[in-house]
């Protein structure tokens, strides 16, 4: 029966991938729905999957479309990509574990500092680490005439070291933080106290017992890390010019090739986690066990005598809380940066005429000619220009409003829909329906959103220069399509997360007491569950904003811009119709290879400051909300408390919901 369920769930995943892969066929040139074309594409993909003789992919060779057997590409380049991916994950897992074990015994102040640093590093874009690594190699070569390793494939043998190192940096940080949090959680349990009382050493307990007991939670937490790594793989391959899974979809964007590419990524990790689940089935079954709550079935949906009324004191209370937040320096700095740059962008758009004028070839006072890209300080260009001659500073100012507002909108709608759907998840869905949502959410984590977004948008939002008028007329539909894609594919994961959190909340004693007293479902959810979900929802909102920024950055590297893209006549020369920040990341490879760092540094700095500002705001909101419900305490710990009491106090930490710095 278990094998049947595994096969059935895998076939459901395959069907979902086929349906996703055919989405580009749903639109015609006028951006109108074409259901018959979509169904025909789905049927064509299914037929081709059962006809191996038609398994070919198309690529350009000397301006001609050439067919090449698909197997010849898979058995060479696909395994090249998987070698890089699994090598990076293995290095990240081992190094993260070693770092966690090495720093676990440090003083509490040092560990709080490590958590703060890790929280900041894990939010930074992965492209930053790739950029610094490649810059270091270039600097070392220029200084000592020694090439540490190649970081771009030029047709002379495959490269491994640079892409593996680039891909392993962010997962290492994530695994380090995950190991450290799980070990701290495990260290507060009773069996550790018993082992220490019997005289066992700290190292022995950590390695012999704690590491073994965190394996289930580690597997669960490894899925989002895998999701981030898969998204980074696409950018790493592109920036290193590697012929892997990315170039397969660059060669051919037909629905059949899209299906194959997604299946090649989905299948190995589905099998891997099935085997891990099968090996640890006892532990996983125990951790997912739920307590049935029958009282909720008899509860009323609404309290008719408690309809909400206008309460002016509520607005006064909200205003006072807002004033309290403004006293927090982190909140003030983060909010000041976002609102400041957003306000400048909006005001600038009303004052100056659009579109931005390109600065082409010009002659200076000495008679010398200058062609784009112009370096900073040339003429009146503060940050220089891009490859098309557009001033980078002007693009940054104009594009800020689109980047920030679209990111905020996508994150708010994601979390808002997830929160509202949680109501039906908790009160009306049965065990089987919740299991389907859980399986769907787990399957979505094996499909990187960057790859899905690129495959669905590449044939829709990219236009040639002679199609500029058409592209400008489709800016709004193109943006709506990209926003919908980035929202829809995140809802199952958010619903699964908030739903399970709410189910656990229903088991609390105060919820049980409210049920016995006759509270309605709406009152239980909005009055009790929501109050305790707010820190989690706030944290999720910040995480979703940072995740959206990461995905938009990846799509920008791959020439998918907000509102549409005008294809350039050379690498890095594509043009954004809205001048959003992500369009400037397309020139990263050109900037590093030609040492024109002004092409990437200004937007990278602003992007990092935006992410850190979001983190600061969300952390301030979480701290404020935790104080209200009594979780967070600003009182200093009594130094007279013995070490054993300090160990026992670790039991009250909530993993991955509340940052550990708050409990020091």
Q: Helices in 22-160 by DSSP H: which ranges? A: 35-49, 70-73, 79-103, 108-121, 126-144
> How high is the pLDDT of residue 52?
84
* 233 in the same domain as 363: no
For residue 473, give the CATH number of its domain: 1.10.3720.10
Mean predicted lDDT score pLDDT of the chain: 79
Separation between Cα atoms, residue 158 and residue 80, nearest integer Å: 9
Q: What is the DSSP code (8-state) at residue 575?
A: E
Assess if residue 335 is contained within a domain. yes
One domain for residues 480 and 395: yes
Residue 315: per-residue pLDDT? 62
Between CA 600 and CA 80 the distance in angstroms is: 29
Tokens of 336: 């000041």
- Among the residue ranges 62-66, 103-107, 254-258, the one predicted with the least confidence is 62-66
Q: Kindly report, residue by residue over 45-71, the tens digit of the pLDDT.
A: 898 888 888 888 777 666 667 777 887
| Whether pLDDT at 344 is above 60 | yes
Does 220 reside within a domain? yes
Do 569 and 531 share a structural domain? yes
Distance CA 223, CA 146 (A): 39
Residue 279 lies in a domain: yes
Average pLDDT over residues 536-542: 82
Calpha distance 390→590 (Å, rounded): 16
Mean pLDDT across the stretch 522-533?
76
N- to C-terminal Cα distance for the chain? 48
Is position 160 within any domain? yes
- Residue whose pair of structure tokens reads 């560990």 in the numeric block: 111
pLDDT value of residue 62:
61
Tell me, yes or no, whether 424 and 511 share the same domain.
yes
Query: Does residue 266 share a domain with residue 186?
Result: no
In a domain, 135, yes or no: yes
Q: What is the DSSP letter of 573?
A: -
As for how many domains the chain has, the answer is 3
Asked if residue 357 and residue 225 are part of one domain, the reply reads no
Same domain, 326 and 340: yes
Question: Residue 271 half-sphere exposure, CB side, CA atoms within 13 Å?
Answer: 5
Tell me whether residue 248 is in a domain: yes
Q: Which residues are CB-neighbours of 115 under 8 A, at least 6 positions away?
A: 177, 180, 659, 660, 661
CATH of the domain at 107: 1.10.3720
Regarding whether 98 and 29 lie in a shared domain, the answer is no
Between 641 and 349, the higher pLDDT residue: 349
CA atoms of 33 and 36, how far apart (whole Å): 9
| Within-domain flag for 62 | no
- pLDDT: is 464 or 253 the higher one? 464
Same domain, yes or no: 119 and 210: yes
Q: Can you give the residue range of the structural domain that contains 369?
A: 312-625
Task: Establish if 296 belongs to a structural domain.
Answer: no
- The model carries a pTM of 0.81
> Rounded to an integer, what distance in angstroms lies between the CA atom of residue 555 and that of residue 373?
22
For the segment 123-149, the average pLDDT, to the nearest whole number, is 83
Same domain, 491 and 577: yes
Verify that 93 and 210 share a domain, yes or no. yes
Using pLDDT thresholds of 50, 70 and 90, give the confidence band for residue 621: confident
Read off the pLDDT band of 626 (50, 70, 90).
low
Q: Which residue, among 535, 163, 593, 194, has the nearest Cα to 373 in the 3D structure?
A: 593
The answer on 88 and 46 residing in a single domain is no
């Amino acid at each position: 029966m278990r094998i049947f369920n595994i096969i059935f769930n895998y076939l459901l995943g395959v069907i979902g991938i086929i349906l996703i892969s055919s989405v580009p066929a749903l639109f015609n040139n006028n951006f109108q729905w074409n259901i018959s074309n979509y169904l025909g594409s789905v049927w064509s993909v299914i037929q081709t999957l059962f006809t191996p003789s038609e398994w070919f992919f198309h690529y350009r060779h000397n301006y001609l479309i050439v067919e090449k057997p698909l197997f010849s590409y898979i058995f060479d380049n696909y395994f090249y990509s998987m070698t890089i991916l699994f090598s990076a994950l293995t290095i990240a897992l081992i190094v993260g574990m070693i770092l966690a074990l090495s720093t676990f015994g440090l003083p509490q102040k040092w560990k709080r500092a490590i958590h703060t640093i890790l929280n900041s590093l894990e939010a930074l874009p992965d492209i930053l680490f790739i950029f610094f690594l490649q810059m270091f190699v270039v600097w070392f070569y220029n200084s000592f005439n020694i090439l540490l390793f190649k970081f771009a494939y030029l047709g002379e043998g495959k490269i491994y070291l640079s892409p593996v190192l680039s891909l392993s940096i962010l997962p290492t940080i994530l695994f380090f933080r995950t190991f450290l949090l799980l070990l701290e959680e495990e260290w507060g349990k009773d069996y550790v106290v018993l082992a220490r009382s019997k005289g066992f050493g700290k190292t022995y307990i950590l390695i012999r017992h704690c590491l073994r007991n965190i394996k289930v939670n580690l597997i669960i937490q490894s899925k989002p890390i895998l999701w981030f790594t898969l998204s980074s793989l696409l950018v790493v391959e592109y920036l290193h010019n590697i012929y892997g899974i990315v170039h397969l979809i660059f060669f051919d964007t037909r629905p059949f090739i899209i299906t194959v590419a997604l299946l090649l990524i989905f299948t190995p990790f589905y099998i891997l986690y099935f085997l891990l689940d099968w090996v640890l089935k006892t532990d996983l079954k125990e951790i997912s066990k739920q307590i049935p709550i029958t009282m909720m079935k008899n509860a009323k949906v609404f309290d008719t005598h408690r309809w909400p009324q206008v309460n002016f004191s509520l607005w006064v209370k909200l205003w006072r809380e807002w004033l309290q937040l403004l006293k927090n320096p982190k909140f003030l700095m983060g909010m000041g940066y976002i609102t400041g740059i957003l306000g400048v962008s909006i005001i600038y758009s009303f004052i100056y005429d659009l579109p931005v004028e390109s600065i082409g070839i010009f002659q200076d006072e000495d008679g010398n000619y200058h062609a784009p890209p112009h370096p900073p300080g040339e003429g009146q260009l503060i940050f220089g220009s891009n490859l098309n001659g557009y001033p980078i500073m002007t693009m940054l100012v104009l594009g800020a409003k689109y980047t920030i507002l679209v990111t905020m909108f996508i994150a708010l709608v994601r979390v808002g829909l997830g929160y509202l759907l949680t109501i039906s998840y908790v009160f009306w869905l049965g065990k089987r329906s919740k299991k389907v949502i859980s399986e769907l959410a787990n399957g979505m984590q094996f499909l990187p959103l960057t790859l899905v977004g690129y495959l669905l948008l590449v044939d829709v939002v990219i236009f040639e220069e002679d199609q500029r008028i058409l592209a400008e007329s489709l800016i709004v539909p193109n943006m709506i399509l990209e926003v919908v894609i980035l929202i829809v594919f995140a809802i199952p994961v958010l619903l699964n997360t908030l739903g399970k959190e709410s189910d656990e909340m229903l088991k609390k004693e105060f919820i049980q007491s409210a049920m016995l007293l006759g509270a309605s479902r709406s009152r239980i959810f909005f009055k009790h569950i929501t109050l305790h979900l707010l820190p989690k929802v706030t944290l999720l909102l910040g995480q979703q904003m940072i995740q959206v920024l990461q995905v938009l950055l990846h799509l920008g590297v791959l020439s998918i811009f907000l509102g549409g893209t005008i294809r350039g006549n050379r690498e890095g020369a594509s043009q954004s119709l809205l001048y959003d920040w992500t369009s400037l990341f397309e020139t990263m490879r050109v900037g590093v290879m030609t040492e024109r760092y002004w092409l990437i540094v200004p937007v990278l700095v602003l992007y990092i400051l935006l992410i850190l500002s979001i983190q600061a705001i969300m952390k301030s909101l979480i701290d404020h909300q935790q104080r209200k419900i009594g979780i967070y305490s600003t009182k200093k710990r009594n130094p007279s408390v013995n070490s054993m009491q300090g160990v026992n106090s670790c039991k009250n930490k909530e993993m991955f919901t509340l940052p550990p710095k708050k409990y020091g």
